Amino acid sequence: MEPRKHSFPPVVDNDTRLLVLGSLPGQRSLAERRYYAHPQNQFWRLISSAAGRDLAALPYEDRLAALCDAHIGLWDVVASATRQGSTDAAMRNIERHDLAALAATLPRLRAIAFNGGTALRHGVKQLGPAAANYAIVALPSSSPLHTVGLATKLPAWEALRIHLTG
């Protein structure tokens, strides 16, 4: 049987306006205990466009602080699952996070963005009626398994800025 893999704690604060949700960290991220640790994952380059600074160039803890400074939160829709490898399609025995409960603790939250189709499918269901309180944004996955280029993904990620102003 596959080992159970667990996500990380949310990166949020009371000023979070945009919550970006992935599915479940991959093998490399779990091994390094860091969100989006795989060097081919484009997350840090893509979210930099919304944050307004180059997060990929920063040490990891500074990246997380810069996300919070930009009013961007980070978490996953899956609390734990069994999975061989890193693909979302291989997840089994999924335990979900209570996204609606987290969202309810964030007084300035305006939008919830989903990094990829799996996160979107699970996350919208988990939010239930609470989804109506937020702009819901489907993003092209930052995963190296989603093989369209960075330039193709970037416009959707840049558009996240509208949820951070004001």
Q: Known catalytic residues? A: 41
Instruction: Tell me the C-alpha to C-alpha distance, in Å, between residue 45 and each of 36, 54, 166.
Output: 11, 7, 24
59 vs 163: CA distance, rounded Å: 25
Helix axis angle, 43-51 to 150-158, nearest 10°: 30
Map tokens 């189709």 to a residue: 117
